[in-house]
A and B are shown apart, each in its own frame.
Chain A
Amino acid sequence: KNQVEQSPQSLIILEGKNCTLQCNYTVSPFSNLRWYKQDTGRGPVSLTIMTFSENTKSNGRYTATLDADTKQSSLHITASQLSDSASYICVVSDRGSTLGRLYFGRGTQLTVWP
Chain B
Amino acid sequence: EADIYQTPRYLVIGTGKKITLECSQTMGHDKMYWYQQDPGMELHLIHYSYGVNSTEKGDLSSESTVSRIRTEHFPLTLESARPSHTSQYLCASSQIDRGNYNEQFFGPGTRLTVL
CA distance A51 to B109 in the complex (A): 28
**A-chain residues with CB within 8 Å of residue B109 when the two chains form the complex:** 41-43
CA distance A93 to B96 in the complex (A): 12
B75 interfacial by beta-carbon distance below 8 Å? no
Provide the A95-114 mask, 1 if CB < 8 A to any CB of B, else 0: 10011111011110100000
Interface-lining segment among B12-20, B41-49, B63-71, B77-85? B41-49
On chain B, the number of residues with a Cβ less than 8 Å from chain A's Cβ atoms is 29
Q: A43-B107, A43-B108 are in contact. Are A100 and B102 (CB under 8 A)?
A: yes
Chain A residues 11-66 with CB under 8 Å of chain B are: 31-32, 34, 41-46, 49, 51
Q: Which residues of B approach A to under 8 Å, CB–CB?
A: 2, 4, 6, 31, 40-43, 45, 48, 50, 88, 90-92, 94, 96, 99-109, 111
Contact B99 A51 (CB under 8 A): yes
On chain A, the number of residues with a Cβ less than 8 Å from chain B's Cβ atoms is 25
